[in-house]
Amino acid sequence: MAATFKFELVSPERVLMSSDAEQVVVPGVEGQFTVLPDHAPVISTLAPGVIQVTTPDAKKGIFVQSGFADVTGDSLTILAERAFIVDEVDPRQIQEELDAAQKALESADDDEARNHIGRAIEELKALHAEA
């Protein structure tokens, strides 16, 4: 069995996931990075995208809109405001998210926000196509 570290996904409302993981791919704002055990401490904000978690028994994809990751040697904590597990989500919910994002895009007033939402929409569309 490969070495593991503690992975936690926390939303403001509750702890969404807490388990041991062998490897986690995180969509950082400056590019994706993979966290393995004993990773150097990093704090990074997240871009909209899918976090891929490899636990000893399963592989899971989790979609996040925004948030940040706190990596220490033996743990990875992701604080995300909106997140859902890709396999368990209802396609309708993705559609709803997509609609909300489109609306947000129209009312966004600076380039940075537009960029961020634009990426979220692309990711959501990709998910929708899969589902």
Partner 1 sequence: MASLKDLRNRINSVKATRKITKAMQMVAAAKLRRAQEAAEAARPYAVRMDTVLANLARAVTDTNSASPLLVGTGKSDVHLLIMMTASRGLCGGFNTNIAKLVRVHARKLLSEGKQVKIIAVGRKGAENLRRDFGQHIIERIDMSGMKFVGFEKAAEIGDKVMAMFEAGEFDVATMFFSEFKSVISQQPTALQLIPAHIPETDGSEKSSLGDAVYEYEPEEDAILDYLLKRNISTQIFRGLLENAASEQGARMSAMDSATRNATEMIDALTITYNRQRQAQITKELIEIISGAEAL
Question: Contact residues for partner 1 (CB under 8 A)?
Answer: 8, 10-15, 28-30, 40-45, 68, 70, 72-73, 77, 79, 81
**Nearest-approach distance from CB 129 to partner 1, in angstroms:** 27
Q: Decide: helix, strand or coil at residue 125.
A: helix
CA 29 → CA 34, 67, 127, distances in Å?
13, 10, 19
Computed on alpha carbons and rounded to an integer, the radius of gyration of the chain in Å comes to: 15
C-alpha to C-alpha distance for 109 and 128, rounded to whole angstroms:
26
Our CB check for partner 1 shows the closer of 108 and 131 to be 108
Our CB check for partner 1 shows the closer of 100 and 131 to be 100
Our CB check for partner 1 shows the closer of 79 and 131 to be 79
